[in-house]
Amino acid sequence: MTTHAPLVVGIGASAGGIPALEGFFRHLPEDSGMAFIIVTHLSPERPSQLHEVVGRYTSNPVSVAEDGAEVRPNNVYVMPEGMILTMADGRLRLRPEDPIHRERKPIDVFFASMAEDQGENAVGIVMSGGDGDGTLGVKAIKERGGITMAQTGDGSGPRNPEMPHSAIASGLIDFAEPVERMPEKLVRLRADIDAFVGLADGEKDRRRIDEARQLQGDIARLLRSHTGHDFSGYKDKTFMRRVERRMKVVQLTTVDAYLQRLKDHPGEVMALFRDLLINVTNFFRDSDAFATLKSQVIPNLFVGRGADETIRLWVPGCATGEEVYSLGILMREEMDGLDVVPKVQIFATDIDDEALGAARAGRYPEALLAGVAPERLKRFFRRDGASLVVSKEVREMCIFSPHSVISDPPFSRMDLVSCRNLLIYFGGELQDRVIPTFHYALKPGGYLFLGTSEGVSRHGDLFAPLDKQHRIFQSRDHGGPRRLPMTLDASASRTRQDVAERPSDATGVQLRQQVETQVLERHAPAHVVITHEGDALYFSANTGRYLEMPRGAPNRHIFDLARREFRADLRAALRETMETGRPAARHVLMLDRDGATGNMIGMSIEPLDGPTGNETLFLVLFNPLGKWRQSGTDEGAEAEAHEAEAALERELRDVRERLQSTVEEYETALEEVKSSNEELVSVNEEAQSTNEELEASREEMQSLNEELSTINAELERSVDRLDSANTDLKNLYAATRIATVFLDRDLVIRNFTPAAGAFFNIRDSDIGRPLMDLAGALQYPDLEAEVRKVFRSDNLLERRLAPDDDGLHILVRLVPYRNRDDGIDGVVITLVDISSLAQAEEQQKVLISELNHRVKNMLSVVISIANATRKTSSSMDEFGERLIGRLHGMSRAYSLLSRSDWTKVAIGDLVRAEAEAFGADRISADGPEIALTPQQALSLGMVVHEMATNAAKYGALSSDDGRVDVVWQADGDRLRLKWVEKDGPEVHSPKRKGFGLALIEGQIRSQMDGDAEISFPPAGFMLELSFRIER
């Protein structure tokens, strides 16, 4: 035992590992007494500086691992790049990595070798990293009794939680902790380690062994009451190692404390239970053995089987299913090459429900499949995320159900029982019970496949080795009916007594033993020790007279072995002894050949005293009592009497013979009853097995049904959602007036809105046809090229088409149709009728140009007025006054026009507006309402303004009493207007015609095509004008 060996701590870290390592080493005390080996995923191209980085966090020396270096406490070793690191004999081993097939699981590789080398001293820590590396490694460590830890997400959690999550999910992690708290746990473990020494291995200390025995009994009772599983028959060492491991994990150093904890915490009982069941069963574990199975056994299973027959396999203790699926794969591979394929059923049973759950799922982290050949992986597994799932064709063959190979009735009529690495956990007694169970379960000639360290040596009568090295055996058929081995009464509590180790006085004993031996051998009556079933366990010397070998296969059954004369009495006596517990005796006559003489034998059976384990044994003694002789004819005197006596003698002999034959008949009948009884028991067991199978398949069906209804519910929900989405879409299509066409990558119509139907002249039946065949009405020859451009550029494209014959303006928009992955699956064409927009644009253009034109014309007019006014003005003031007056006059006319939106202006309004500017009370306006065109209004406005200006300056309005009368009337289609001034100063004809008069005449004659007559009577200025009324 490596009492003082340091803890060797393997640390697996990868992506995001540096902060985790920092957190770990910063909290580590200087003298921890532990060695640390860091394994990371490194790129072989880049030299690693990890040792320098880690060196900053700890005062312990940090070095790059070297081949052959001894692992010493308080040292940190870092795996170099491009190498594979392992451990053997307490030293590090390095070998170069194959550059082509790089090891993707360096952590698993190192952990596995460390587990093998260091056993209980190994600690595996899985920190932040990807790829699920380390899971298989911690499994190996835990199996060897080491401690496992994984980083959890408290506070500064793992940056990349894939690796620790995978390890925790496997159920193999003892401590899931933040890295900062791990050093403290390690230090406690290290401090407690001495307390455990010798619990499982202290052979020298007898007291401790007794203690341990006692403890195992106590714990086994607790386990049985919680889990219903009896571990009392497990190997002491294995059992105690598991207990020790759990004690380390819960950090208790005394067995009493642990026992108390078990009593207080049912959870701890379950944890121990699970630890006791740890069983590393990889796919094709021991590949040679599986190869032999494949070549030697599997083909034989199929020989002579028709398609309607079933090959039955049983895997008891299947754990998480690796062994089951390995067998399934082998069977499936064999079936591939067959023309006639029989049905294959693999019954996989275990008492661990959680393991069965995992097995049923058939889903494994890639790490656990490292040993499976790539072609098998490809053929029989389906990748699903980071895990691989067993293919349906293999999965279908396997039936999983909870079952205990120890306490439940076995299955039957099996062709192969594969039970690898389960027996190693059983003590001899349990093995003796389980192996006959397998024999019972198998058909004659069926195969038994065990783990490499297991065997059936004590049951050579039941199994014949087929391949010793790989532990493949074949069931022997031994004549008589198969007996179901007795199952233990699980409720009976048994006290184990220690026979082997009774202390004794050595010297006196030796002589006595010699004497006793000699007496026994030479003078003691012949005897046999048997079980209550009648199986002979021990024969003394000189039993040959009473026993003989029966016909058929060798057999140890006393009823078969005993000479015929003894059988009936033997049976009766045994029964009597078993019932009373006291010795029973019988006298039996063994006749010689002649039938006249014989020997009288005293036969007695008594229970064997002394400790013989839990089974009562019986001692059968044969004691010769003396010669027996038929009474002779000697005196002869009383002949009659003699004759009568002889007759009686004869009669007695006849009766004896008859009795003998009756006894024989009775025995035969009894045998027959017994064998039919056994047959019945076996039929019953078979029925029970069938029932188990039915139960198993019912569970399968139930879980399948559950799964199906879940899937169905999900499907229904999806269909509902799809339906409503579809309806929304349909309504949207119908409601939108925008023509939209969906095309796929080949420009085939996928869908379109009703509005698009009119544009392209397409109907529902055109869905699935290329749009280019149908693109009828559209004036868009570049459509196809531009759609392709959208595919290439991934951008939307907008194009305004030239107006068609009907003056229809269309805006085309081509938008990429994106699928869920944001890739382009097609194109969406949208057509929008923008004719009204185009019209409005056109109208606006016209309006602007008209406005432009009018403004320019107006400016021309203003410039002309200014020019003329300037020429006829004598001073700047006069020029300004007259120009501004004229412009105001114009603007008044414009105001009226704009009030009526440039349509018509009433003549009265025009005259009155002008009159108001000069004093409305002195200008009277009178006439019917006649509408003027804008042009007429402007011109007449100017004329009235000139007249009024003139009157104010020279005419009637220049005096205080002067008045102006403006009257007009319609005369047919002409308007006649008269301007008459009264009561003003005397009027003279002007010497020169001024601009005012020229403007009046010009406006009326040229502009309005009218007539104007101006006269200057002395009473007042007078103007008569007429022009055409435009209606």
Partner 1 sequence: MIVEDDWLIADDLAHTVKDIGYRALGPAHSVSAALDILGKGEVDAALLDVNLRGETSYPVADAMAEQGIPFAFLSGYTTDQLKPGFQDRPLLSKPLNPGALRDRLSLMLRE
Which residues bind to partner 1, rule: CB under 8 A? 849, 852-857, 859-861, 863-865, 867-868, 871, 935, 998-999, 1002-1003, 1006-1007
Minimum distance, C-beta of residue 1010 to partner 1, in the bound complex (Å):
12
For 292, the token pair is 């032999």
For 740, the token pair is 């939209």
Nearer to partner 1, 133 or 946 (CB): 946
Indicate the DSSP class of residue 29: -
Minimum distance, C-beta of residue 1005 to partner 1, in the bound complex (Å):
8
Helices (H) and strands (E) counted in the chain, each on its own, are: 28, 36
CA–CA gap between residue 505 and residue 739 (Å, rounded) = 113
For 888, the token pair is 């105001």
Minimum distance, C-beta of residue 862 to partner 1, in the bound complex (Å):
8
CA–CA gap between residue 442 and residue 428 (Å, rounded) = 21
Nearer to partner 1, 721 or 856 (CB): 856
Minimum distance, C-beta of residue 913 to partner 1, in the bound complex (Å):
20
CA–CA gap between residue 965 and residue 979 (Å, rounded) = 6
CA–CA gap between residue 177 and residue 868 (Å, rounded) = 106
Nearer to partner 1, 493 or 864 (CB): 864
Minimum distance, C-beta of residue 1009 to partner 1, in the bound complex (Å):
9
CA–CA gap between residue 350 and residue 318 (Å, rounded) = 6
CA–CA gap between residue 365 and residue 132 (Å, rounded) = 7
Q: Which amino acid is at 550?
A: P
Nearer to partner 1, 703 or 935 (CB): 935
Minimum distance, C-beta of residue 942 to partner 1, in the bound complex (Å):
8
User: 40: which strand partners?
Assistant: 13
DSSP per-residue letters across 114-158: HHHHHGGGEEEEE-S-STTTTHHHHHHHHHTT-EEEEE--SSS--
Minimum distance, C-beta of residue 852 to partner 1, in the bound complex (Å):
6
CA–CA gap between residue 190 and residue 634 (Å, rounded) = 98
Nearer to partner 1, 148 or 1003 (CB): 1003
CA–CA gap between residue 199 and residue 242 (Å, rounded) = 11
Nearer to partner 1, 687 or 863 (CB): 863
Three-class SS of 37-59:
EEEECCCCCCCCCHHHHHHCCCC
Nearer to partner 1, 779 or 1006 (CB): 1006
Minimum distance, C-beta of residue 1031 to partner 1, in the bound complex (Å):
15
Nearer to partner 1, 464 or 998 (CB): 998
Minimum distance, C-beta of residue 832 to partner 1, in the bound complex (Å):
30
Provide the pairing of β-strand 597-607 with 584-591: antiparallel
Nearer to partner 1, 365 or 1010 (CB): 1010
Provide the pairing of β-strand 797-801 with 905-906: unpaired
The 10 Å CB-count burial string (b at 16+, else e) for 503-519 is eeeeeeeeeeeeeeeee
Phi and psi angles of residue 340, each rounded to the nearest 5 degrees, phi first: -100, 115
For 843, the token pair is 């109208």
Minimum distance, C-beta of residue 996 to partner 1, in the bound complex (Å):
13
Minimum distance, C-beta of residue 869 to partner 1, in the bound complex (Å):
11
In 3D space, the residue among 958, 898, 107, 852 whose CA is nearest the CA of residue 115 turns out to be 107
Which H or E run includes 843? Answer: helix 835-872
Nearer to partner 1, 539 or 894 (CB): 894
Minimum distance, C-beta of residue 893 to partner 1, in the bound complex (Å):
13
User: 85: which strand partners?
Assistant: 94
Nearer to partner 1, 604 or 950 (CB): 950
User: Which stretches does DSSP call E strand in 770-903?
Assistant: 797-801, 810-818, 824-833
Nearer to partner 1, 774 or 883 (CB): 883
